[in-house]
Amino acid sequence: MPDVGEGLTEAEILKWYVQPGDTVTDGQVVCEVETAKAAVELPIPFDGVVHELRFAEGTTVDVGQVIISVAVGGDGAGAAEAAAPVAEPVAAAVAAAPAEAPAEEAAPARQPVLVGYGVSQGSTKRRPRKAGSPAAVAGQAAQAGFAAAAPAATPAPAGAALAPAPAAVLNGTGTGNGNGDGFATATTTGERPLAKPPVRKLAKDLGIDLALVVPTGEGGIVTREDVHAAAAAAAAPAAPASRNGTAAAAQAATTAQAAPAQAPAEAPAPVAAGARETRIPVKGVRKVTAQAMVGSAFTAPHVTEFITFDVTRTMKLVQELKQDPDMAGLRINPLLLIAKAVLVAIRRNPDVNASWDEAAQEIVLKHYVNLGIAAATPRGLIVPNIKDAHAKTLPELSQALSELVATAREGKTSPADMQGGTLTITNVGVFGVDTGTPILNPGESAILAVGAIKLQPWVHKGKVKPRQVTTLALSFDHRLIDGELGSRFLADIAAVLENPKRLITWS
């Protein structure tokens, strides 16, 4: 699993595009993964035949874990040999095919990975363990046991001629055991156990002492499965009987040995008839959204104001623009004019376009507008933004909105498209909702909720007439925007939409 950037440590495998026995070429997309911010397609840097898919669809995998092994032969042999030094421990475990070239014969080039050029082969080595130490014995035993069990656990698929080809294993990191991979030294007798940072965090969250966990990973590394097994053992009724952790460790070892035969993750079971509850794992975009909303709600003092007004003229302008030859081929809807009205109101009230610097205790005024548009997708709520929206003409804004919505619906929104927003619009009116009290997107100053536009009785020129009416709700950070500024900003938005000629006179 490659490092896809943005400081993310894990990703969920959404879909495999290949199966064992399929032939792949360098650059071919083999799977789609979802990080906490976006869905990403992963290409493979080898030519060869797929030997094994290490994880099923729906599994969350740490960055750096091996997700697929490829038997490389013929023209791709050079790539396999170049990857041999860093892939050798894992290649032995998955038994993709016997490696013909020894590690010392490999060219000292960087291993091809999915992002960048990989990690160069430096001279930094982990300090070797003392011969005969309990840590060394435990690590050797764990590695030997895993390698011995691997051929039975990973049989070669029928019909795939893999035996003659050397194996190349893809993990996207270009690092292997003993090559400065950042793991801490391991032990169960006072030294720090071998484990990746996400595994350490998992153990901390579950209250598991890593020193008491029996490692099953290559080289004595503690894996997620080991931690979960230890947690299950600790929760078992027999666990309290053994204060020194021996019983828990024994049960963890038994569970861990059985784990490779099971699927890494199971899909949610169908709801049984009469079931009273269903648990849905929170991960990916939904997990990050939940964390961001909690952080925003309890760090930024929210204030929400409302205004209800007549938008009949704006709705007529929408229909006229649809017939305008200059706007042909563009998507024209009320949201376009609402976005333009927000940009005009920001120009009249520039102090609303700001952010709060907690570390420096300063207000940062923004002289650009990255206008966020909240979008509901099958994977959860995301807020991509239109970069430099303040500098766009109406046709350019329409084009940008169309592309943003289409990309979000396809689940292809990139992390960069969701960063750097200054103010957001959320259109709850499309669901028939009149209004709401939206929560700020973290780091932004305000968010505007647009309610449903409905035909209602309204006093117009002294008479009650049916008019198109809507309600806007503006939530803002009271550290940045006081009541007067927030009220003027919201009133200006309504004034533009009530009389769209102000798009010209106020611009």
Number of Cβ within 10 Å of residue 104's Cβ equals 7
SS3 15: strand
Which stretches in the chain have pLDDT values below 50? 75-190, 237-268
3-state secondary structure of 185: coil
| 8 A C-beta contact, residue 52 and residue 96 | yes
Q: CATH says 286-505 is which class?
A: alpha beta
Backbone angles phi, psi at 18, to 5 degrees: -130, 165
Determine the pLDDT at residue 421.
Answer: 92
| Maximum alpha-carbon separation in the chain | 96
What are residue 147's phi and psi, to 5 degrees? Answer: -65, -35
Given a contact cutoff of 8 angstroms between Cβ atoms, the answer to whether 6 and 30 are in contact is no
Measured CA to CA, the distance from residue 263 to residue 258 in angstroms comes to 11
Q: How far apart are CA 119 and CA 439, in angstroms?
A: 42
Bridge partner residues of 365 (DSSP): 354
Compute the distance between CA of residue 303 and CA of residue 485 in angstroms, rounded to an integer.
Answer: 12
Pick the CATH number of 1-119+133-180 from 1.10.275.10, 2.40.50.100, 2.30.40.10, 1.20.1260.10: 2.40.50.100
User: How many Å apart are CA 37 and CA 479, to the nearest integer?
Assistant: 28
CB neighbours (10 Å) of residue 62?
16
Q: How far, in Å, CA of 111 to CA of 103, rounded?
A: 13
User: From CA 339, how far away is CA 394, in angstroms rounded?
Assistant: 10
The span from the CA of 172 to the CA of 64, in Å, is 6
CB neighbours of residue 343 within 10 Å: 23
What are the φ/ψ torsions at residue 429 (nearest 5 degrees)? -65, -25
Neighbours of 460 (CB within 10 A): 12
- Bridging pattern class, strands 10-16 and 354-357: unpaired
- The Cα–Cα gap between 14 and 415 comes to 17
Query: What secondary structure letter does DSSP report for 352?
Result: G
Burial class (CB within 10 angstroms; exposed 0-12, middle 13-18, buried 19+) of 101: middle
| Residue 373 confidence (pLDDT) | 93
pLDDT at 494: 97
Catalytic choice (51, 302, 390, 478): 478
Continuous H helices in 18-159: 77-94, 134-153
The answer to whether the pTM exceeds 0.95 is no
51 is catalytic: no
Q: String of b and e for 394-408 (b: at least 16 CB within 10 Å)? A: bbebbbbbeebeebb
Give the other-Cβ count within 10 Å of 289's Cβ. 18
Q: Which of 69, 110, 85 is nearest to 176 (CA)?
A: 85
Cβ–Cβ under 8 Å, residues 166 and 77: yes
Q: Where are the domains of the chain?
A: 1-119+133-180, 183-259, 286-505
End-to-end CA separation in angstroms for the chain: 49
| Cβ–Cβ < 8 Å for 47, 62 | no
Question: Are β-strands 371-373 and 385-386 bridged in parallel, bridged antiparallel, or unpaired?
Answer: antiparallel
Write the DSSP assignment of 380-434 as a string of letters: EEE--EETTGGG--HHHHHHHHHHHHHHHHTT---GGGGSS--EEEEEGGGGT--
Which region holds residue 348: left if phi is over 0, alpha if psi is between -120 and 50, else beta? alpha
- The secondary structure of the chain in percent helix, strand, coil, rounded to multiples of 5, reads 35, 20, 45
pLDDT at 298: 67
The answer to whether the CB of 290 falls within 8 A of the CB of 282 is yes
DSSP, res 284: H
b/e map 304-321, b = 16+ CB within 10 Å: bbebebbbbebbebbeeb
CATH ID of 183-259, from 3.40.50.620, 3.30.70.1450, 1.10.260.40, 4.10.320.10: 4.10.320.10
CA 468 to chain CA centroid, nearest Å:
40
Confirm if 70 and 90 have CB atoms less than 8 A apart: no
